[in-house]
């Protein structure tokens, strides 16, 4: 829908109409009391590319259709996407996926101990960082390939599939060899080169929302992965940046029912990174279960006070079984069982 | 804590020290490797008023203490505040307060019908707008005094206490005569004249968070009411303004556990205004119950499509009993029963 | 423009059409490839009030027309509004209005000294706070009526018209008796009762943008004043709240050319409150002059380090003449002379 | 500065003190009236990594020192950084760098024509996109290597150095072979792998601020480049994401004087991407010159209505000479001449 200024001339209206018709769309001119609007039916992507906002006499272009395609439940895929990760069912409304583990792999012992703890509490998958994105170049960046080996050992022992972040296209092969789910971090949500590589690795992808990305942009980023022929994508709400600094980010739980209305993809919530504060993680995890998320991803540590990274948000391993039980109770009320 | 610039001179440091000492606080100079910091112990309000940021050689002033007082669980009141509204207990962690009713009082019949519906479903209080703040001066502004009469009749019939908004100090007497709880709307959270009047009316106050107010500011606004000697204040999270436009506002559910850590006041959640979309209201209401809120306030209408105000976010009256049951189930998991 | 969901039925589309036609607007149904859109021509306010978003089958309502009326250059008033304040011309593109003075009136001597300084440097008007809105109820709130007397004396001596804030409808008479321009503060931009009172006082109004108000909302707030028959309204950009905390607020200078495109009202910029830091005030004041603002409002103090309020953002009185000259040079490049 | 909760025990305070001392910093315990604060002097990075926020009894950790190092004028480099790009001096306060060209290289003819136009108007450098990051995977992504050849030809003919974006580490060699300045786009500001590659290419880097990145984060991202031994970094403000949707982004001009206070790096402003609307580009470019920026980067097209990308924000080539003259006039007032 192209809205003209009140002073737009007949010639300017005709020019816009001609330009639209040249792309093959059907055009309708809607004269209003004060301004004329021009509707275009068909090929919204083509119309968007025209850049009509800059034509003489045009005030605004108001998109009517949504800008994402493959991730849309309306355009592409009315039924919820479901898939299995090593036997754990993701998506579809009957399971709740509990992904837990250390922020970063620090040692073999630490990782195995946490893996056993979360396995015993019923976790569905093990998370753990091998390569860590750090805001400051002088901070600890993870053990890299050695961490991937440790995660593989933890999987072998516990049977838990492993979720780990792909940070750089150069690590793609190594990460794909050891991970069951490829995580794309929030800071890379619009790193399109990385999204395309991730889409080609043949593994499920956990795509985190950028910290100031709109939900439309999150689903367009998912389109980058989906168009590589990989349908196994989960999106993850992990807090957005707002004016409020009392919490590290603002967890946008409204996003979950909105995504359920407009997309078929499973939706995971990360309350650990959103809040940055252990004391808020359980309440927010319960809320995620109640709001209808398909799962959560949380950080756990035997001794968070000695953690090399993000200790303040890590749950104590000794508290994890109780945490899992209390959160799962809310998921059960919504008809879900642990994946 | 006053942080000096790296180039600050001894004389500038001494000047800051002298200025602080003149207010009677205890001062500690902390020389760092690159910058000197100066700590002041005692009377944070007095130090804040000094405006030290503008002194020569000062880079920043970093407040260590929180800026609110009476609303603080740390400074004023370690135990949760609880009180009763016509026999319905608010606060304290064992009850869940279900406040429901029409956005605005339109007719006697509509209001009574909704009041009966919400009463039957177990609601704790009846909400209804008599005076409505409207962004556009050309929109419907409520029935005013006539609406207060209708609400009084609904209370008489159902026994439900009434929550209604005070918009203007001129209406204070009329609103106080008919309301059991005085609501202060988000747009007036920093209308200090109104807060002081509300604090003097001798009724519980439901104080909504401003749409871009920080949690610190919300508690300072509560201080305005509390300092009038009125301890019966509930604060209400109703969505904040962020870059995300998919939902009308972003409901900040992290605020609830944060407020529980730092304040003794009961916390209510308004999922109707936050989302502006009926389809999101129930998931967010469940999340509010799971995250630990003391209650919710929601809008209900017999025929939302004919509502004079905010119809799209109103729950259908015919669905309300089921809604109440599903939300309350999550509150029960947290050890709460309907107030 | 009403956008239906892809699954909307013929009956749902017909129901929306009927509902729109009942309000008397002209309705056009636009079948798209995936979704149907329904356009309504005429009476946008009426359509907005219908709350169509909640009807079955409706996905979204996309407003085509702007929501403000009287403040619009498109709907109401194509020529820029200009008026005179005690001989100083505001608006129209040929003058630059330099409004300066203390944040708050502290003493007679302080106020007269600053008034003389800003008069000597060519200021157009004197600002000064008599009643101050304070976030904390324990902070200094201004001298009130005594301050109004001092401002009147400063005007009598210097001839400068006085700008001061109206904070509460109870002070309206006193403020109107002494002020030449009534300021409405950012926190009260949506205090509609106050806007209507301000509109009736027969004085020009300086309306500050709320710290999270959109430009549409600012112009709707101006509509509240304008509809009282008072055409002499200036709007004022004073910084919005964003995620960035390095500066107190984010001064939105893009708003100035946007407002010039869409409104006929004069636009003033307040760099003092936006930045909260004297070191940023001059660069931002120069930018305001270069971007096309009709003026600025800044704070000046003889001894900012002893100011009772907002000292860190006050310019030193001794530097003001140079400041005024450097800022005015940029305004002159844009064809403006000091008002 | 570690702030304890009011209930923190002596043992908890001692534990924090011990943990800090183990890192070698000097520790000072500051008992306050209500809470104890613990100051650490030395190695802020080490302290930040400890994650003390999660220790028992700790309420908050308040950083006193800034988190960036090499980009800091306070820690690393008190004098402004200046360098030359093919004879055009960047930084240092006496030049204004006018970077202009098409959003994207579409054809040889279009690029050469624009290059001649901007050269004739006095531009310092030619911008042009070879690889374009696009939010939707279905949009035009640039000509790639062929575009680099065209840009090289434009440079050969006009003598203008070329600024183009590096989007993917795979393109590094090709981009470095043809570009005089490597641009890192806003969406990649925290793509650390890319920053490190860019730092090693031996070319000046133009680093755009992420659309929700704080200024602290921008300077930390600059640290990633600087630590590779490349001192020639310009940072670029290009608009941040806020609640305001009237303009595409909110250009944060307060950032320029703030960056001048805290960093030694040259600062460029991009008014084209910030506003997305040609009608706002010139006023914002003038404001950038007046606020003290070291230059601007703008988009120019012979026929914006036929541009493949971002036409609405492109200046008409036929208007560019006048634009350049009007903007430069404001830079001259600040003592700068075209670089």
Question: What is the rounded distance in angstroms from the CA atom of residue A110 to the CA atom of residue A120?
Answer: 16
Strand partners, B252: A252
Give yes or no for a contact between A26 and A46, defined as CB atoms under 8 angstroms apart: no
Using a 10 angstrom Cβ sphere, with 0-12 exposed, 13-18 middle and 19 or more buried, the burial of residue B70 is buried
Phi-psi map region of B295: left, alpha, beta (phi>0 left; psi -120 to 50 alpha): left
In chain B, what residues touch A238 (CB-CB under 8 Å)?
A: none
Question: What is the rounded distance in angstroms from the CA atom of residue D109 to the CA atom of residue D63?
Answer: 54
ipTM of the complex: 0.92
Query: Residue with structure tokens 């001062």?
Result: B27
**Average pLDDT rounded to a whole number, residues A196-207:** 96
Minimal Cα distance from A245: which residue of C? Answer: C243
Closest CA to D315 of D118, D88, D105, D111: D118
Chains that touch B (3 or more CB pairs under 8 A): A, C, D
SS3 content of chain C, % helix, strand, coil (to 5): 40, 20, 40
Q: Is A308's Cβ below 8 Å from some Cβ in D? A: yes
DSSP secondary structure letter of residue A90: E
- Give the model's confidence band at D112: pLDDT under 50 very low, under 70 low, under 90 confident, else very high: very high
**How many angstroms separate the CA of residue B309 from the nearest CA in chain A?**
22
**How many angstroms separate the CA of residue A156 from the nearest CA in chain B?**
35
Choose from A70, A140, A192, A221 for mutation: most chain D CBs within 10 A: A192
Biggest CA–CA distance in chain C, Å, is: 75
B303 pLDDT higher than 90: no
**How many angstroms separate the CA of residue A143 from the nearest CA in chain C?**
32
Closest CA to B235 of B272, B209, B203, B274: B209
Question: CA of C215: how far to CAs of A30, B61, B146, C235, in Å?
Answer: 26, 32, 34, 10
Mean of the per-residue pLDDT values of chain C: 91
Closest CA to B154 of B111, B183, B121: B111
In this structure, are strands C83-85 and C88-90 parallel, antiparallel, or unpaired?
antiparallel
- Give the model's confidence band at B60: pLDDT under 50 very low, under 70 low, under 90 confident, else very high: confident
In chain C, what residues touch B210 (CB-CB under 8 Å)?
A: 212
In chain D, what residues touch C283 (CB-CB under 8 Å)?
A: 256-257, 290-292
Element (H, E) at D47: helix D44-49
Read off the tokens for A133. Answer: 């994105």
DSSP secondary structure letter of residue C24: T
Choose from B24, B38, B41 for mutation: most chain D CBs within 10 A: B41
SS3 content of chain B, % helix, strand, coil (to 5): 40, 20, 40
Closest CA to B130 of B309, B313, B318: B309
Check residue A44 and give its pLDDT.
66
In A198-227, the residues whose Cβ lies within 8 Å of chain B are 212, 214-216
Sorted by sequence, the CB contacts under 8 Å of residue B180 that are 6+ apart come out as B85, B86, B125, B155, B161, B162, B163, B203, B204
Listing DSSP states for A143-186 in one string gives -THHHHHHHHHHHHHH---EEEE---GGGHHHHHHH-SEEEE-G
Question: What is the rounded distance in angstroms from the CA atom of residue A269 to the CA atom of residue A275?
Answer: 12
Question: What is the rounded distance in angstroms from the CA atom of residue B289 to the CA atom of residue A7?
Answer: 53
Closest CA to B274 of B251, B302, B297, B246: B251
A300 pLDDT higher than 70: yes
Read off the tokens for D148. Answer: 């680099």
D28 pLDDT higher than 90: no
Question: What is the rounded distance in angstroms from the CA atom of residue D31 to the CA atom of residue D18?
Answer: 16
Check residue D44 and give its pLDDT.
66
Sorted by sequence, the CB contacts under 8 Å of residue C285 that are 6+ apart come out as C269, C271, C296, C298, C323, C327
Check residue B44 and give its pLDDT.
66
Which of the residue ranges C170-174, D70-74, D127-131, D200-204 would you say has the lowest mean pLDDT? D70-74
Extended beta strands in chain A, E state: 2-4, 26-31, 36-41, 58-61, 83-85, 88-90, 95-101, 125-127, 162-165, 181-184, 205-208, 233-237, 267-269, 295-301, 315-316, 337-338
- Give the model's confidence band at B132: pLDDT under 50 very low, under 70 low, under 90 confident, else very high: confident
| pTM strictly above 0.80 | yes
Question: What is the rounded distance in angstroms from the CA atom of residue D338 to the CA atom of residue D94?
Answer: 9
Read off the tokens for C165. Answer: 């804030």
Is A53's CB within 8 Å of D224's CB?
no
Per-residue pLDDT tens over the stretch A22-49: 877 788 887 776 778 888 777 666 777 7
Is D64's CB within 8 Å of B241's CB?
no
Closest CA to A284 of A245, A316, A313: A313
Question: What is the rounded distance in angstroms from the CA atom of residue D319 to the CA atom of residue A224?
Answer: 38
Choose from C67, C220, C290 for mutation: most chain D CBs within 10 A: C290
- Give the model's confidence band at C31: pLDDT under 50 very low, under 70 low, under 90 confident, else very high: confident
**How many angstroms separate the CA of residue D156 from the nearest CA in chain A?**
31
Read off the tokens for C18. Answer: 């009927």
Q: What does the CA dihedral A115, A120, A121, A124 come to, rounded to 10 degrees?
A: 60
C46 pLDDT higher than 80: no
**Average pLDDT rounded to a whole number, residues B49-74:** 81
Closest CA to A288 of A238, A222, A232, A233: A238
Question: What is the rounded distance in angstroms from the CA atom of residue D339 to the CA atom of residue D336?
Answer: 9
**How many angstroms separate the CA of residue B71 from the nearest CA in chain D?**
15
In C255-294, the residues whose Cβ lies within 8 Å of chain A are none
Per-residue pLDDT tens over the stretch B112-125: 999 999 999 999 99
Give yes or no for a contact between B102 and B132, defined as CB atoms under 8 angstroms apart: no
B64 pLDDT higher than 80: no
Per-residue pLDDT tens over the stretch C265-323: 999 999 999 998 999 999 999 999 999 999 999 999 988 877 777 778 899 999 999 99
Give yes or no for a contact between D136 and A75, defined as CB atoms under 8 angstroms apart: no
Give yes or no for a contact between B45 and B30, defined as CB atoms under 8 angstroms apart: no
Q: Write the residue in C254, C290, C333 that is nearest to D247 by C-beta.
A: C254
Give yes or no for a contact between B207 and B188, defined as CB atoms under 8 angstroms apart: no
**Average pLDDT rounded to a whole number, residues D275-290:** 96
D63 pLDDT higher than 80: no
DSSP secondary structure letter of residue C317: G
**Average pLDDT rounded to a whole number, residues D278-286:** 96
**Count of Cβ atoms closer than 10 Å to residue D317 Cβ:** 21
- What is the SS3 string spanning B218-287? HHHHHHHHHCCCCCCEEEEECCECCCCCCCCCECECCHHHHHHHHECCCEEECHHHHHCCHHHHHHHHHH
Check residue C44 and give its pLDDT.
66
Q: Is C254's Cβ below 8 Å from some Cβ in D? A: yes
In chain D, what residues touch B74 (CB-CB under 8 Å)?
A: 5-6, 34-35
**Average pLDDT rounded to a whole number, residues B189-212:** 94
Give yes or no for a contact between C210 and C184, defined as CB atoms under 8 angstroms apart: no
Check residue A226 and give its pLDDT.
95
Give yes or no for a contact between B123 and B100, defined as CB atoms under 8 angstroms apart: yes
Question: What is the rounded distance in angstroms from the CA atom of residue C275 to the CA atom of residue C312?
Answer: 10
Question: What is the rounded distance in angstroms from the CA atom of residue D18 to the CA atom of residue B103?
Answer: 56
Q: Is B191's Cβ below 8 Å from some Cβ in C? A: yes
- Evaluated on CA atoms A179, A182, A187, A193, the torsion sign reads positive
Q: Is C132's Cβ below 8 Å from some Cβ in B? A: no
Q: What does the CA dihedral B207, B212, B215, B220 come to, rounded to 10 degrees?
A: -60
In D31-90, the residues whose Cβ lies within 8 Å of chain B are 31-35, 37, 39, 41-42, 62, 64-65, 74-75
CB contacts < 8 A (A, C): 64
Per-residue pLDDT tens over the stretch B224-279: 999 999 999 999 999 999 999 899 999 999 999 999 999 999 999 999 999 989 99
In chain B, what residues touch D245 (CB-CB under 8 Å)?
A: 245
- Residue with more model confidence, B323 or C60: B323
Check residue B74 and give its pLDDT.
78
A234 pLDDT higher than 80: yes
Q: Is B1's Cβ below 8 Å from some Cβ in D? A: yes
C197 pLDDT higher than 80: yes
D240 pLDDT higher than 80: yes
D219 pLDDT higher than 80: yes
C47 pLDDT higher than 90: no
In chain B, what residues touch D41 (CB-CB under 8 Å)?
A: 30-33
Biggest CA–CA distance in chain A, Å, is: 75
B288 pLDDT higher than 80: yes
SS3 call for B42 = coil
In chain C, what residues touch D245 (CB-CB under 8 Å)?
A: 214
Share of chain D above pLDDT 70, in %: 98
Q: Is D229's Cβ below 8 Å from some Cβ in A? A: no
Q: Is B8's Cβ below 8 Å from some Cβ in C? A: no
**Average pLDDT rounded to a whole number, residues C149-171:** 95
Chains that touch A (3 or more CB pairs under 8 A): B, C, D
Per-residue pLDDT tens over the stretch D293-317: 999 999 999 888 777 777 788 999 9
In chain A, what residues touch D217 (CB-CB under 8 Å)?
A: 135
Buried b (16+ CB within 10 A) or exposed e, C67-91: bbbbbbbbbebeebbbeebeebbbb
Is A134's CB within 8 Å of D192's CB?
yes
Check residue D45 and give its pLDDT.
66
Is C54's CB within 8 Å of B223's CB?
no
Question: What is the rounded distance in angstroms from the CA atom of residue C103 to the CA atom of residue C117?
Answer: 15
**How many angstroms separate the CA of residue D212 from the nearest CA in chain A?**
6
Check residue B311 and give its pLDDT.
78
User: What does R_g of chain D's alpha carbons equal in angstroms?
Assistant: 23
- Residue with more model confidence, C133 or C174: C174
**Average pLDDT rounded to a whole number, residues C184-210:** 94
In chain C, what residues touch D215 (CB-CB under 8 Å)?
A: 244, 246
Check residue C45 and give its pLDDT.
66
Question: Side by side, which strands form the sheet with C2-4?
Answer: C26-31, C36-41, C2-4, C58-61
Is B283's CB within 8 Å of A275's CB?
no
Minimal Cα distance from D46: which residue of A? Answer: A139
């Amino acid at each position: 829908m192209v809205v003209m200024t009140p002073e737009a001339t007949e010639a300017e209206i005709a020019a816009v109409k001609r330009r639209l018709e040249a792309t093959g769309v059907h055009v309708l001119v809607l004269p209003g009391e004060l301004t004329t609007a021009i509707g275009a039916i068909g090929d919204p992507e083509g119309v968007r590319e025209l850049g009509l906002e800059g034509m003489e006499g045009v005030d605004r272009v108001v998109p009517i259709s949504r800008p994402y395609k493959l991730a849309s439940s309306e355009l592409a895929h009315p039924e919820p996407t479901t898939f299995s990760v090593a036997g754990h069912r993701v998506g579809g409304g009957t399971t709740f996926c509990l992904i837990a583990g250390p922020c970063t792999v620090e040692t073999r012992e630490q990782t195995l101990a946490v893996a056993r703890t979360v396995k015993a509490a019923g976790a569905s998958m093990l998370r753990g960082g091998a390569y860590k994105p750090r805001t400051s170049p002088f901070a600890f960046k993870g053990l890299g390939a050695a961490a991937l080996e440790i995660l593989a050992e933890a999987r072998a022992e516990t049977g838990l599939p492993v979720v780990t972040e792909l940070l750089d296209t150069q690590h793609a092969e190594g990460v794909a060899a050891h991970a069951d789910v490829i995580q794309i971090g929030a800071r890379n949500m619009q790193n399109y080169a990385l999204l395309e590589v991730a889409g080609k690795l043949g593994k499920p992808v956990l795509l985190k929302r950028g910290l100031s990305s709109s939900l439309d942009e999150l689903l367009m980023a998912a389109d980058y992965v989906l168009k590589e022929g990989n349908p196994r994508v989960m999106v993850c709400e992990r807090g957005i940046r707002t004016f409020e600094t009392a919490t590290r980010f603002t967890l946008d739980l409204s996003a979950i029912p909105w995504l359920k209305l407009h997309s078929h993809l499973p939706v995971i919530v990360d309350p650990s990174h959103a809040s940055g504060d252990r004391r808020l993680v359980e309440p927010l995890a319960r809320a995620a279960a109640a709001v209808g998320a398909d799962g959560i991803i949380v950080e756990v540590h035997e001794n968070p006070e000695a953690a090399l990274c993000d200790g303040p948000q890590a749950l104590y391993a000794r508290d994890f079984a109780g945490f899992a039980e209390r959160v799962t109770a809310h998921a059960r009320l919504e008809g879900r069982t642990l994946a």
